């Protein structure tokens, strides 16, 4: 009688079980929804409350505090979710439970109220806790009897991860920025729900794989090279029990409670002014940071105390692992700027307008960038349909609906961009001297006096006897037909009022009501079309975020071959390369934004190059990561060290958002170039340090490669 695994390998797609591609698409839609929401959150929170696409007008610091806590908790809940899946629900039900909770989270965020936003983020964190650890566990169980195919399976699976991230950021971002935030958040939820349905309806393909555990439950312990010493003899010290003492358990509880308290307190203290750690404040040093340092100290005592109880070789290897985990923090605090400060930079400081031949070239490149991957994935869907339609017709139908919806949105997006026309419009503005802090009028490089121009709006009319009214010209780009002389209403699209958009009847009514609600100037400007220009396209802020996924797909095979060749560098060298290459990316941004003055935008080429180097850095460092947990850590410490590794990533994510939230403050106090210089110096110095530690790490690792 064939086992479930043998039955699974009967129906193959591209040499792998059809079930792998069910997981591929499930992960793809989950990443679509996750990254689709992720790329919007900080942009939405910090966008002006009155404008073409209004947000909540939070400071970047407050938005970063909230996003950082969200990102941090995403690496904590999977520890709990994985335990529940192992003991109670099984992997498949954990995926379904997690997916449904995340769907509710996206739906809640689409309502755009303060309560629904917080509730949505909580649901996403909880749902991710169930979903994240279980998918790879199902793959591991599927390939238990075919370990030689496991690497290829994970490669295919991670292509699904990047494909989902790519399309999620592109399509959710486009809908949110062009139509409205609720559409972007809502689309993420729709694909999350459809992904859940296709996985649930394909359950019969897996048999008992990933099913609810029974009393007779086989637990597969990680294979660990540390069970034997370098002489290939059993190390007696390793076999001695090393149980958690009462003191160990107290340290775990106290440090965990303080860490979780900080994660919640940081945004709460900044946004609501409620600080539960204020009693620990020392001078100007915030109490929550005092508490965090105390918790980290307790955790280090716990980890070092347990490590010292092991034999010398095992102890050395775990110290090597801790060094890698420490430098991981520096990598992620820089890399994850892509979710906070780089979003603000792309929105406010990058020239994202292309016209004429440049616009046509971008539209062609963007079409190829979008359509070719979609054709390839649709072909995989066709192969899966042929193999599994008779067994799981419902799952296949849901997948077809997903792809029809995807093709429809892509077609609409590309058609809209190809048919967007630029128009010059003129409007009345009040001219006032541009005064510096000392009360003197500013001058430009040629010595000419500088002025600021305040648009005349419905609620901001000039004082006829005092104010000087002049005509100003700007441009708008819309997929609509206007003629010279047409009058229309426009409004600022970005926070600094340098870009404008057309208000149709629906947006006009909403903007008037918004102004009344907030008791502020509604910002509506009466303008006239003065010139019809060429085709023009405004690249969305979220478009730049897709570059990371694109570059991973392009360069991953090159790095894979490099690591398999005789030139494969040591773990420390890979870490050093990853950190230094990351720093180079920020160095390019620091150079590109050097000497930037108000109203001037940076060429987008600097941001594109930065994402390229950030991705190359990620590909250098990513092979080291979790693989060294099983290589360097004994089985009885594996859970704690996995937790420590995810803690390092969580801390990196939180620090990234906290530091990224300072972009406005540092730019105002110093310059934008200075801000990026910080993220140039820190990872480069960290990379040089870890490279200098290479001989020490090799010695500590005792032959592990």
Q: What is the pLDDT of residue 78?
A: 84
- Taking the C-alpha atoms of residue 686 and residue 575, their distance in angstroms, rounded to an integer, is 9
Q: Report pLDDT digits (tens) over 178-207.
A: 999 999 999 999 999 999 999 999 888 877
| Residue 609 or residue 23, greater confidence | 609
Residue 639's pLDDT is: 66
The mean pLDDT of 497-517, rounded to a whole number, is 92
* pLDDT (average), residues 162-184: 94
Give the C-alpha separation, 307 to 473, whole Å.
68
Tokens 């430009």 — which residue?
Answer: 444
Q: What confidence score (pLDDT) does residue 115 get?
A: 93
Mean pLDDT of the chain: 87
Average pLDDT of span 119-140: 86
508 or 634, which is more confident?
Answer: 508
Q: In whole angstroms, what is the distance from residue 650 CA to residue 575 CA?
A: 18
* Residues forming beta bridges with residue 247, ordered by sequence position: none
| For residue 225, pLDDT beyond 50 | no
Give mean pLDDT, residues 509-520. Answer: 94
The pLDDT of residue 222 is above 50 = no
List Cα–Cα distances, 598 to 188, 291, 677, in angstroms: 36, 40, 19
CB-based contact 106:128 (threshold 8 Å): no
SS3 category, 179: coil
- With a pLDDT cut of 70, the percent of the chain lying above it is 91
Please tell me the predicted confidence (pLDDT) of residue 464. 75
CB 562 within 8 A of CB 568: yes
Please state, in angstroms and as integers, the Cα–Cα distance from residue 529 to each residue in 354, 473, 492, 526, following that order.
20, 10, 16, 10
Residue 235 pLDDT exceeds 60: no
Contacts made by residues 698-704, CB under 8 angstroms, sequence distance 24+: 698/570, 698/572, 699/316, 700/316, 700/317, 700/319, 700/320, 700/323, 701/316, 701/317, 701/320, 701/571, 701/632, 702/230, 702/313, 702/316, 702/317, 703/230, 704/225, 704/317, 704/628, 704/631, 704/632
pLDDT recorded at residue 1: 43
pLDDT of residue 215: 52
The whole-angstrom separation of Cα 637 and Cα 629 is 10
Query: How far is 195 from 100, CA to CA, in rounded Å?
Result: 10
Give the closest residue to 15 by CA, choosing from 146, 103, 165. 146
Chain segment 296-342, per-residue pLDDT in tens? 899 889 888 888 887 888 888 888 888 888 999 999 999 999 999 99
Residue 236 has pLDDT above 80, yes or no: no
Annotate 269-333 with three-state secondary structure: HHHHCCCCCHHHCECCECHHHHHHHHHHHHHHHHHHHHHCCCCHHHHHHHHHHHHHHHHHHHHHH
CA distance 133 to 176: 30
- Mean pLDDT over residues 220-242, rounded? 44
What's the pLDDT band for 219 if we cut at 50, 70, 90?
Answer: very low
Question: CATH 1.20.1250.20 residue ranges in the chain?
Answer: 1-214, 316-352+541-705
Written as six digits, the tokens of 223 are: 């294979």
Average of per-residue pLDDT across 349-374: 92
Only one residue has tokens 């991973």, namely 552
Q: What is the distance between the alpha carbons of residues 50 and 56, in angstroms, rounded to a whole number?
A: 9
Q: Which residue has the higher pLDDT, 294 or 280?
A: 294
pTM above 0.85, yes or no: yes
DSSP classification of residue 245: P
Between the ranges 71-75, 122-126, 641-645, 647-651, where is the mean pLDDT highest? Answer: 122-126
The rounded distance, in Å, linking the Cα atoms of 159 and 419 is: 32
pLDDT given for residue 416 in this prediction: 95
Lowest model confidence (mean pLDDT) among 218-222, 252-256, 344-348, 387-391: 218-222
Q: How far apart are CA 232 and CA 703, in angstroms?
A: 12
Classify domain 316-352+541-705 by CATH number.
Answer: 1.20.1250.20
- Asked whether 342 and 349 are in contact (CB, 8 A), the reply is no
Distance CA 344, CA 60 (A): 8
Q: What is the pLDDT of residue 512?
A: 95
Main-chain phi, psi angles of 473, to 5 degrees: -120, 135
- The residues, any chain, with a CB within 8 Å of residue 354's CB and separated by 6 or more, are 361, 362, 536, 537, 538, 539
Secondary structure of residue 622 in the 3-state scheme: coil
Mean pLDDT of 579-592: 96
Read off the pLDDT of each residue in 542-547 and give the average, rounded to a whole number.
95
- The answer to whether residue 217 scores a pLDDT higher than 50 is no
Task: Band the pLDDT of 232: cuts 50, 70, 90.
Answer: very low
> On the CB side of 365, how many CA atoms lie within 13 Å of its CA?
11
Question: What is the CATH topology of the domain spanning 1-214?
Answer: Growth Hormone; Chain: A; (1.20.1250)
- Taking 60 as the threshold, does the pLDDT of residue 409 lie above it? yes
Query: Would residue 432 be called left, alpha or beta, if left means φ above 0 and alpha means ψ between -120 and 50 degrees?
Result: beta
What digits encode the pLDDT tens for the residues 437-490? 888 888 877 788 888 899 999 888 888 778 899 999 999 999 999 999 999 999
């Amino acid at each position: 009688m064939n086992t479930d695994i043998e039955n699974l390998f009967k129906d193959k797609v591209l040499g792998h079980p059809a079930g792998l591609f069910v997981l591929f698409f499930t992960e793809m839609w989950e990443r679509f929804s996750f990254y689709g929401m992720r790329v919007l959150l900080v942009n939405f929170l910090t966008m002006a409350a009155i404008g073409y696409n209004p947000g909540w007008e939070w400071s970047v610091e407050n938005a970063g505090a909230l996003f950082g806590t969200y990102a941090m908790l995403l690496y904590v809940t999977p520890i709990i979710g994985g335990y529940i899946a192992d003991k109670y629900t099984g992997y498949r039900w954990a995926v379904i439970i997690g997916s449904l909770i995340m769907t509710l989270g996206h739906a809640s965020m689409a309502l755009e109220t303060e309560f629904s936003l917080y509730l949505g983020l909580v649901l996403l964190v909880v749902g991710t806790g169930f979903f994240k650890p279980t998918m790879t566990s199902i793959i591991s169980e599927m390939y238990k009897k075919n370990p030689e195919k496991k690497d290829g399976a994970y490669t295919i699976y991670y292509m699904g991860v990047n494909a989902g991230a790519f399309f999620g950021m592109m399509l959710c971002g486009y809908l949110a920025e062009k139509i409205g935030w609720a559409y972007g958040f809502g689309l993420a939820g729709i694909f999350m729900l459809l992904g859940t349905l296709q996985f649930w309806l394909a359950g019969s393909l897996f048999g008992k794989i990933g099913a609810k555990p029974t009393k007779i439950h086989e637990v597969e312990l990680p294979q660990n090279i540390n069970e034997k010493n370098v002489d290939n003899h059993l190390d007696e010290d390793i076999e001695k029990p090393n149980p958690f003492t009462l003191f160990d358990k107290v340290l775990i509880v106290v440090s965990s409670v303080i860490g979780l308290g900080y994660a919640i307190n940081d945004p709460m203290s900044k946004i609501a002014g409620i600080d539960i750690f204020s009693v620990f404040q020392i001078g100007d040093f915030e109490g929550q940071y005092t508490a965090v340092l105390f918790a980290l100290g307790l955790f280090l005592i716990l980890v070092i105390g347990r490590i010292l109880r092991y034999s010398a070789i095992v102890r050395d290897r775990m110290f090597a692992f801790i060094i890698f985990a420490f430098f991981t923090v520096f990598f992620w605090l820089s890399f994850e700027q892509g979710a906070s400060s780089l979003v603000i930079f792309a929105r406010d400081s990058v020239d994202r307008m292309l016209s004429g031949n440049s616009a046509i070239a971008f539209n062609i490149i963007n079409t190829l960038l979008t359509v070719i991957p979609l054709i390839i994935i649709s072909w995989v869907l066709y192969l899966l349909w042929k193999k599994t339609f008779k067994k799981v017709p419902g799952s296949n139908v849901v997948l077809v609906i997903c792809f029809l919806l995807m093709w429809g949105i892509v077609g609409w997006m590309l058609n809209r961009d190809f048919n967007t026309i630029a128009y010059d419009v003129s409007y009345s503005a009040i001219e006032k001297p541009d005064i510096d802090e000392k009360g003197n009028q500013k001058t430009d490089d040629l010595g000419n006096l500088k002025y600021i121009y305040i648009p005349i709006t419905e609620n901001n009319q000039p004082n006829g006897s005092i104010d000087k009214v002049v005509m100003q010209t700007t441009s708008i780009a819309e997929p609509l037909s206007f003629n010279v002389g047409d009058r229309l209403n426009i409004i600022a699209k970005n926070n600094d009022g340098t870009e404008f958009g057309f208000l149709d009847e629906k947006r006009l009514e909403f903007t008037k009501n918004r102004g009344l609600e907030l008791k502020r100037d509604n910002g509506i400007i009466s303008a006239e079309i003065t010139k019809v220009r060429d085709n023009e396209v405004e690249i969305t802020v979220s478009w730049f975020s897709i570059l990371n996924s694109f570059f991973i797909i392009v360069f991953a095979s090159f790095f894979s071959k490099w690591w398999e060749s005789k030139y494969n560098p040591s773990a420390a060298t890979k870490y050093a390369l990853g950190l230094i290459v990351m720093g180079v990316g920020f160095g390019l941004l620091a150079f590109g934004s050097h000497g930037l003055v108000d109203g001037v935008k940076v060429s987008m080429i600097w941001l594109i190059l930065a994402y390229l180097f950030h991705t190359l850095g990620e590909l250098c460092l990513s092979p080291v990561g979790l693989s060294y947990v099983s290589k360097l850590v004994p089985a009885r410490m594996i859970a704690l060290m996995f937790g420590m590794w995810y803690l390092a990533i969580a801390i990196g994510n939180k620090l990234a958002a906290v530091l990224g939230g300072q972009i406005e403050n540092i730019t105002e106090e110093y310059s934008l170039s200075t801000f990026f210089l910080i993220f140039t110096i820190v990872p480069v110095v960290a990379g040089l340090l870890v490279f200098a530690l290479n001989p020490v790490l090799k010695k500590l690792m005792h032959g592990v490669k």
